[in-house]
Structure 1
């Protein structure tokens, strides 16, 4: 008769066999159920053995005025726990899973809804701590004499919401440090995600895609961190891109133009020629207009749109459906360049990393020394910037793995996101000028830090003059790239406008397309308004006065990073001592 330990070993081998068969045979429903059931049986055996020393996960979810996204996110976490059972249950709660819900909302009604959601999921078996504005201020009161301005910023007490994801995370990391001191017997891992993500992946299928909960995230992460060598692990996302429309407008316009030109060569009533499942570019930032800056080759050919109406929609029906999707681009969706999950055994996918995706990364208590740098600037690209610093300091302790989450920028009922900082949504347009500016200067910061790190920063402290000259050089190079992209957008807009406006085209007379033509027109106006030659965002990055303002702030933040790190260490020490 086998011992419990022997049965555990055999069950793990059985799971490995099931996993290979699952992905080899196309992730069928019954094999997936058997795979999930096998993990639950493994958890039962581990519980029977006793002395479960695996990690306890604290999942940090910052949320800002997004109650719908939050509910979906927590539902997917609860589903993950129920399907795979990591750590088992005790007294109606999952033993090795906790949630810290960090609320950065400005709307009082949303705060109450999100607090209520935290309570609802606690009742369902998740240990959820609501870390609202009152709780955040109470924690910071205990650190009031420390200068943490370069880490968490300065905020009016009556306007403490909408600090931004980086500052909100940094404040939450202080709470995580307290938790670690309060739970010395638990091996804590901290898993920070975004509220618009799910514990699932998206598979490319002939009918347009399928969501599956086919990864046992917590089990896999526990194994990677088991020997203590890994300090930080970053995943990625599948589904919607993790980047701003500011760096996707060019290639999306290419795809829209190719779609309209294809429609022009067909008749309205012909069946739409659906593309095959498109995995080309998945994992290679095909959605990014300047992918080559990040070591990817960049896509030169257009991607085709997959119509979701039916198996065999007509061209007119597909034209109308695509038109309804266009506005979602301004909310972060890319309807033609979805990133699909591609299977690779997790243990074989672990490689050294150089970027952090702040919406999907895991770190040990040792890595609480790391806050998101330059957070008060509220720039985009904070994760990649942090990653360049980590890469230099942690070496093999900083890795990435094939553990993506499913990213859904928009809500299905509205086609819009619930909240995006700096994005102004009007009745007839969406203004991305603030996001465009933060994207550009976020790129400037990222590639300036990359150069400075190669020169020994932050160990070697550069002079202000050297930092400023680096910022100026990178700025000039990137502004040239942005200008080239803008010129290509203008040229593509002209081609697309001529094709759409041609009165001989069938969409001007086909009844099914009557509502679609104005939607295409609104899309073109939105592209011109946000990315054309007269766009406000473009004007802002060309303004010498604004440029000097940003460079001064960036230089001060870079030079002040060692002092910010010292203040952070003081804060950690104080909280840890007080919590014991």
Structure 2
């Protein structure tokens, strides 16, 4: 941007919003600033005032854009205002804003990782946080953003693809580092022996070669050690205290899901790095968690009931149509405030449990019939078993100020940011590989950090499935072939993860984890939670069986048009397969429910959970002693990561 173009976009803002009170007030502030700007030094003297009025103009533009279904012209103005602001901030001698280390654990998901990293490059290109420096090839290299990929993959071809994706991201201007199994093994091999036994539940085995598919929680803890022992020192030096560590999942993107008219779209809208830096700069917080939009962040095993309700409503609505009728599933529904409407047991989390069936929002665009909609819906229904919830996609709900936060209780492990001091808060009980690791950590952080652990309205886009066929790449706990999808392992991890979560929440009320509680008290609490949740799971199973039978009735009665023609045979077959998979995974003879019943009777799983909760004290001490031990990797170590 040439200096002659300075303030061009701000003037466009004034023209577009001419006569608007808020815009006129910003213009008055701007003219006041101009009086002191007669040179580069004068501009520097007014930087804080200019920054404040640009932020106000941007907030106003973003609200107007959101109110007008994210109008493209207003989005273009929003992005240009951010770039203009970055140019103005570059006049300052030193940019003291924070560096971001974006850390992404991945396991055999090259396609999703590619989407994730491409969205990171897009975020940098559109908003240009921290500016850039052009390399010898003329490519902008973004000054304050680095990406670290922690690879837990097993398949050699996927490992090769992931390395290639890292190289492509590097070539696009984001410094990108790859940490594979060899690098992880070398790091773990340097841990003093007195810590290895106590930390095995956090970081897994420390042998060479490092095993693959250790799980996302163990991968995150290993990444914590990499950050502490090498990356922060090697890459940022004395600036390390001004760094923020940003953890993502590989199925997240720097985008939000919105509705324009009757269609859903994914767009880049939030300048994540700018506003996260602002939150940490203006408040005494240590950890900020965002949420997600798009696919819900929970297992299919705890949202099947809500989906069955919605399928019944879908067929009830279809029964009142003709097959060639124009699609009627494009109502312009507003995003909901509740973030748990998809959850079968939302009441457990303090949400209103009065769930109502939701109308399916058709994903097709252009002219199409209800028959076309049924065909597409039937394919998306099978994607449910990989984490897609076709009827309860979470949409972005804009608020006026991205720096507004509220006290948090859950860490969304696919979207959380913390200072280097936050490395002391490891992912607990990682070796158990249970679901709900983020909520469990969140309950501990809420007890320990109180108002220094907050939630922001900066969600990332969550995409559980591939768009081409609505299935997934690798997903731990799900076994699939051409005729069956088995969720029993994920179902098992979900149930015991729920027991762990609500036991920890109950114990936190007694002072845990800072007050050391006895094993008998912990075990008693865990038993009570096990019994309570098992009763809820059995009640839910009865509801699932009843609702599945209701859907099957819609597939067997010839009075419904979809059962009478060859054009809908594929759709009916898909929904029939869906019902069979529901019966296999959640019905009276499901392997998942039988396994949990056996584990409850046998008792060892609950004993393991009780012991893990009790041993947190020792693990916590060992972890923090290790961090204080000045453990460092040699400069020529492969754990410095592969820079592409």
* Displacement of 1:502: 0.8
Matched-pair contact (CA < 8 Å) for 1:355–1:386: yes
- Alignment of 1:150 with 2:201, yes or no, is yes
Secondary structure of the equivalent of 2:551? helix
- Alignment of 1:464 with 2:507, yes or no, is no
Alignment of 1:163-562 (within 5 A): 163-178=214-229, 179-182=231-234, 183-186=236-239, 187-227=242-282, 229-279=284-334, 281-347=336-402, 349-544=404-599, 548-562=603-617
Which TM-score applies when normalising by structure 2? 0.87
Secondary structure of the equivalent of 1:465? helix
Distance 1:161 1:43, change over 3 A: same
Separation of aligned partners in 2, 1:185 and 1:346: 32
Matched-pair contact (CA < 8 Å) for 1:317–1:512: no
More divergent stretch after superposition (7-16 vs 490-499): 7-16
* Displacement of 1:467: 1.2
* Displacement of 1:503: 2.2
What's the counterpart of residue 39 of structure 1? 82
Separation of aligned partners in 1, 2:144 and 2:311: 47
Distance 1:156 1:250, change over 3 A: farther
More divergent stretch after superposition (537-546 vs 241-250): 537-546
Matched-pair contact (CA < 8 Å) for 2:185–2:209: no
Q: Which runs of no fewer than 5 residues in structure 1 stay unpaired?
A: none
Matched-pair contact (CA < 8 Å) for 1:150–1:375: yes
Alignment of 1:103-122 (within 5 A): 103-122=151-170
Which of 133, 148, 170 in structure 1 is aligned with 2:181? 133
Separation of aligned partners in 2, 1:63 and 1:39: 31
* Displacement of 1:551: 0.9
* Displacement of 1:309: 2.8
Task: After superposition, give the CA deviation of every residue in 1:420-466 in whole Å (9 maximum; x if it has no partner).
Answer: 10110111111000000000000000000001111011222222111
Separation of aligned partners in 2, 1:240 and 1:378: 22
Matched-pair contact (CA < 8 Å) for 2:54–2:85: no
Tell which structure's C-alpha radius of gyration is larger: 2
Task: After superposition, give the CA deviation of every residue in 1:146-176 in whole Å (9 maximum; x if it has no partner).
Answer: 2221211237645611111100000000011
Instruction: Please report the RMSD computed on the Cα atoms of aligned residues, expressed in angstroms.
Output: 1.8
* Displacement of 1:50: 1.8
Task: After superposition, give the CA deviation of every residue in 1:500-555 in whole Å (9 maximum; x if it has no partner).
Answer: 21122211223431211111110000111111111111111111467612112111
* Displacement of 1:578: 5.6
Matched-pair contact (CA < 8 Å) for 1:346–1:401: no
More divergent stretch after superposition (210-219 vs 4-13): 4-13
More divergent stretch after superposition (562-571 vs 323-332): 562-571
* Displacement of 1:292: 1.1
Secondary structure of the equivalent of 2:263? coil
Matched-pair contact (CA < 8 Å) for 2:296–2:389: yes
* Displacement of 1:579: 7.0
What's the counterpart of residue 22 of structure 1? 62
Secondary structure of the equivalent of 1:569? helix
Separation of aligned partners in 2, 1:249 and 1:287: 9
* Displacement of 1:94: 1.1
What's the counterpart of residue 6 of structure 2? none
Task: After superposition, give the CA deviation of every residue in 1:331-376 in whole Å (9 maximum; x if it has no partner).
Answer: 1000010100010134453011111001000000111111000000
Secondary structure of the equivalent of 1:204? strand
Which of 43, 50, 54 in structure 2 is aligned with 1:10? 50
Separation of aligned partners in 2, 1:499 and 1:91: 61
Aligned length: 580
Matched-pair contact (CA < 8 Å) for 2:251–2:464: yes
What's the counterpart of residue 71 of structure 1? 114
What's the counterpart of residue 162 of structure 1? 213
Separation of aligned partners in 2, 1:471 and 1:136: 34
* Displacement of 1:268: 1.7
Q: Which runs of no fewer than 5 residues in structure 2 stay unpaired?
A: 1-35, 136-140, 636-644
* Displacement of 1:392: 0.5
* Displacement of 1:272: 2.7
Separation of aligned partners in 2, 1:235 and 1:177: 23
More divergent stretch after superposition (262-271 vs 192-201): 262-271
Distance 1:329 1:299, change over 3 A: farther
* Displacement of 1:246: 0.4
- Alignment of 1:90 with 2:129, yes or no, is no
- Alignment of 1:61 with 2:112, yes or no, is no
What's the counterpart of residue 99 of structure 1? 147
Secondary structure of the equivalent of 1:233? strand
* Displacement of 1:575: 4.6
Task: After superposition, give the CA deviation of every residue in 1:366-392 in whole Å (9 maximum; x if it has no partner).
Answer: 111110000000000000000000001
Separation of aligned partners in 2, 1:512 and 1:156: 57
* Displacement of 1:91: 4.6
